Structure 1
Amino acid sequence: MTTTEGTEALRTRVATRLADARARSVALTDAVDDDDLVRQHSRLMSPLVWDLAHIGNQEELWLVRDVGGREPVRCDIDNLYDAFQHPRADRPALPLLDPTEARHYVREVRDKVLDVLDRSPLEGRRLEADGFAFGMIVQHEQQHDETMLATHQLRSGPPVLTAEPPPPGLAPAAAEVFVPAGSFTMGTSLDPWALDNERPAHEVHVDAFHLDTTPVTNAAYAAFVDGGGYDDPRWWSDTGWAYRQKANLTAPRFWLRDGAGWLRDRFGVIEPIPPDEPVVHVCFHEALAYATWAGRRLPTEPEWEKAARYDPATGRSRRFPWGDEDPGPEHANLGQRHLSPAPVGAYPAGVSPSGVHQLIGDVWEWLDTGFTGYPGFEAFPYREYSEVFFGGDYKMLRGGSFGTDPAASRSTFRNWDHPIRRQIFAGFRCARDADPGERA
């Protein structure tokens, strides 16, 4: 049972995380005018004003009505902001709250939520124990903040977002690390804010393999592009080649040819592509084609998590590559602190026990694994978060990006998307099987 001191510390932490998420939501929506807020910048994305009100509606449903047992604030809009009722492409035609109404709504909901937080024991039923419902809502808002950041990347017009550049990098001496065969604990049964698809903890055997020390860089990927990689079906899966032709893919999204070189459009800024940053805005098919061209492959999800978490010195799995403490600015590029990936080798304090860099932050990493539940999976608190997506064409993404908040960046956190998606902040690293003599 939580002590009073522990409960008050948790209450303070929840309030801080809620405030951090809301400050980011406000910054992303206040950065543009009302016309921009209601405009759909891509059929792949919602208008920013939909995301804002949806954040408030989810907060109302779970914290005001369920945890707090309060009367609804705006039950008349529940259907408008149900993501399963209306595809993103259709949302601009809905009678949405306008920007003024949306801002008023989310403020009114948050005022009630803070009152609920003050009164909640943060224990008892599973939804409330350890502040789970509050943590779920923090993560939900931060996930939508990253989605809104991706919408900013898709919008046209002058730049409106600013941030300090990431720290310099120093490429590690070794291009790859060797991870010996053996079992490790995958997933978690202990992290109080872990979501249902991260649970339960279970033992997984992973054969020996080699993994890139860093994500694939722009320079390395440009060699694939300039070497005709997009024109040679040998490197592509059948599905990937069909999509490359259909979508006329010729380079990562937002790359612009400049003579013999390349520029990129980064949040409205046209600039030379930094050669030592991880490549970003590639889909799974592009990542797989590069890996095949390079004589390698993409890692599997268990391989990625073992490299990120397993500590051979203790035999246990950590929360993060560097240990169990929450990420700090010295560990990883997270939380929109910068507006691009950092050069490889920029975070030596975040290296995993196996010697792998930047597994957390910078870019989501495509993995060659589909999305399904772990053995013993139990949907909680609703099937629509994870279970309804099991078994589709989705591919896993791990590690978070520069736009991912630390609240949703632990090494067990699982993301997934269709293998054609390129607007997300996704890159990859490569792996290869161990040599015969290394497999014992």
Structure 2
Amino acid sequence: MDATRTATGSDLMAALKDARARTLEMVDGLDDEALMGPRLSIVNPLLWEIGHLAWFHEHFILRGLDGRPPLRADADALYDSAAVPHATRWDLPLPSLAETLGYMDGVQSALAARLDGREPEPHEAYLYRLVGLHEDMHAEAFTYTRQTLGQPRPTFAAALAGEAEAGPHPGDVDVGGGLLRLGAERDATHFVFDNEKWAHPVEIAPFRIARAPVTNAEFAAFVEDGGYREPRHWDEAGRAWLAESGADHPIYWRRVGNDWMVREFDADAPLKPHRPMIHVNWHEARAWCRWAGRRLPSEAEWEAAAIGAREPDGGLAATKRTYPWGEAAPDRILANLDGLRLGTVDVAAHPEGDSPWGCRQMIGNVWEWTESPFLPYPGFAPDAYAEYSEPSFGTRKVLRGGAWATRARMVTGMYRNFFGPERRDVLAGFRTVAA
């Protein structure tokens, strides 16, 4: 049974309020110039984006369910992301930050009032979960926008002190072959996005996959070996990206003497060797794989290694888990999520979250590129947010697992993220399979 059928009004509003608190933390301390930022294809003006969140809540619930008039007469003209071209968002007559926050508060107060004293119907609960998770996605985007723009590291009230130093976690594990039901089952107890529907059989051949994502030290060896300058490591699309970008090392790395420094938000820091490689695109990940004699996993292989159950004889069982460790919701012991560390941790951290096959950090720390194009599962039909998945089919690549800034309530072993193969700004790394 889908969890939205049993969600209480207080549960739903608690999640919305928590998502809003993170949004407010992400814009706290930014002046008017920072709230607009430069005109780039990979970011939005933060002032526009937070107004869009309120519009999204209002559009699907207050207006979509209740037929209410908009709280702002200009809301659609300003904030409808499907109708307002990206390049024009800097030119709009956006309200001030104070006015925008007032609009956000008015929408959220109305969402709470409409549930006061009653429990939601299943479709209502679904929409409340949807708009809250949509805000969680934007909070992660706010995080890497601040990195892209060199703004100060955000401050989260729930952040943990100190760093998790755990070292490397080298080597491969064997994953047995068998039949995997890729995707979410119809009786799932977690929120299911439309592109996860529905589970269908995929035959998996036995394979060997890395225990952990590729580390900074491992990627640095590729850079030092001239990997960006060697065409044989790059396919045609990768070479075209190289020519256009002029890249000869990862985007935030900078050579200082014999060492690499990396920009973390607005400050440089020494490259930490045992942290997972992050801010690397699909082309860079595949080039590293060719250099190392490896390959990226398919998304079916990734899901099998992450949550597929293991038979006593080493084969892939017919059942799977929601998370690598089982059914318990993620916490700070099991995975690096929710921005609690304000960055990545060493790849050997969180052994308690290992998958049945011995893979570590399949959830959290960095998103992991897969070889697979983002395509619909058999029988796909868009859900209420019709623009979420369908427009991106066939143009993007699948990432799995979540990153350090991903909210724990959003990601499972079946969650599919998707970005263009050229994107280096997102919180993405990669794990490899023996070729």
Taking structure 2 as the reference length, the TM-score comes to 0.93
Q: Structure 2 CA distance, aligned partners of 1:246 and 1:268?
A: 26
Of residues 48, 51, 54, the one that matches 1:50 is 48
Return the offset for 1:382. Answer: 3.5
SS at match of 1:407: coil
1:176 matches 2:172: yes
Q: Structure 1 CA distance, aligned partners of 2:153 and 2:196?
A: 37
SS at match of 1:134: helix
Residues 148-192 of structure 1, C-alpha deviations (whole Å, 9 max, x = no match):
1111112245555475344122434x5111111111222112335
Is the contact between residue 26 and residue 154 of structure 2 (CA under 8 Å) also seen in structure 1? no
1:391 matches 2:388: no
Q: Structure 2 CA distance, aligned partners of 1:222 and 1:261?
A: 10
Query: What are the ranges of 5 or more consecutive residues in structure 2 without an aligned counterpart?
Result: 312-316
- The residue correspondences of 1:175-194 to structure 2 (distance < 5 A) are 175-188=171-184, 189-191=186-188, 192-194=190-192
Return the offset for 1:257. Answer: 0.9
Is the contact between residue 218 and residue 276 of structure 1 (CA under 8 Å) also seen in structure 2? yes
Residues 309-360 of structure 1, C-alpha deviations (whole Å, 9 max, x = no match):
1112464111110111110101111111122211011001110001100011
Return the offset for 1:40. Answer: 3.0
Tell me the equivalent position of 1:78: 76
Q: Structure 1 CA distance, aligned partners of 2:332 and 2:83?
A: 39
For the aligned residues, what is the CA RMSD? 2.0
- The residue correspondences of 1:145-294 to structure 2 (distance < 5 A) are 145-156=139-150, 159=153, 161=155, 163=159, 164-172=161-169, 175-188=171-184, 189-191=186-188, 192-294=190-292
Query: What are the ranges of 5 or more consecutive residues in structure 1 without an aligned counterpart?
Result: 434-440
Residue type of the alignment partner of 1:300? S
Tell me the equivalent position of 2:362: 359
Of residues 312, 316, 320, the one that matches 1:317 is 320
Is the contact between residue 261 and residue 271 of structure 2 (CA under 8 Å) also seen in structure 1? yes
Tell me the equivalent position of 1:428: 430
Return the offset for 1:13. Answer: 1.9
Residue type of the alignment partner of 1:417? F
Q: Structure 2 CA distance, aligned partners of 1:304 and 1:87?
A: 35
1:328 matches 2:322: no
Q: Structure 2 CA distance, aligned partners of 1:166 and 1:67?
A: 45
Is the contact between residue 370 and residue 396 of structure 1 (CA under 8 Å) also seen in structure 2? yes
SS at match of 1:40: coil
Q: Structure 2 CA distance, aligned partners of 1:270 and 1:161?
A: 18
Q: Structure 2 CA distance, aligned partners of 1:290 and 1:87?
A: 35
Tell me the equivalent position of 2:26: 28
- The residue correspondences of 1:327-346 to structure 2 (distance < 5 A) are 327-346=330-349
Q: Structure 2 CA distance, aligned partners of 1:222 and 1:210?
A: 23
SS at match of 2:134: helix
**Bigger mean CA deviation after superposition, 376-385 or 246-255:** 376-385
Cα pair distance change 1:402/1:97, threshold 3 Å: same
Return the offset for 1:41. Answer: 6.6
Return the offset for 1:28. Answer: 0.5
Cα pair distance change 1:165/1:428, threshold 3 Å: farther
Q: Percent identity?
A: 37
SS at match of 1:422: coil
Is the contact between residue 45 and residue 90 of structure 2 (CA under 8 Å) also seen in structure 1? yes
Residues 246-304 of structure 1, C-alpha deviations (whole Å, 9 max, x = no match):
10111111111111210011011211010000010111000000001000101111011
Cα pair distance change 1:239/1:38, threshold 3 Å: same
Return the offset for 1:121. Answer: 3.8
Is the contact between residue 41 and residue 155 of structure 1 (CA under 8 Å) also seen in structure 2? no
Tell me the equivalent position of 1:93: 91
Is the contact between residue 45 and residue 89 of structure 1 (CA under 8 Å) also seen in structure 2? no
Return the offset for 1:117. Answer: 2.9
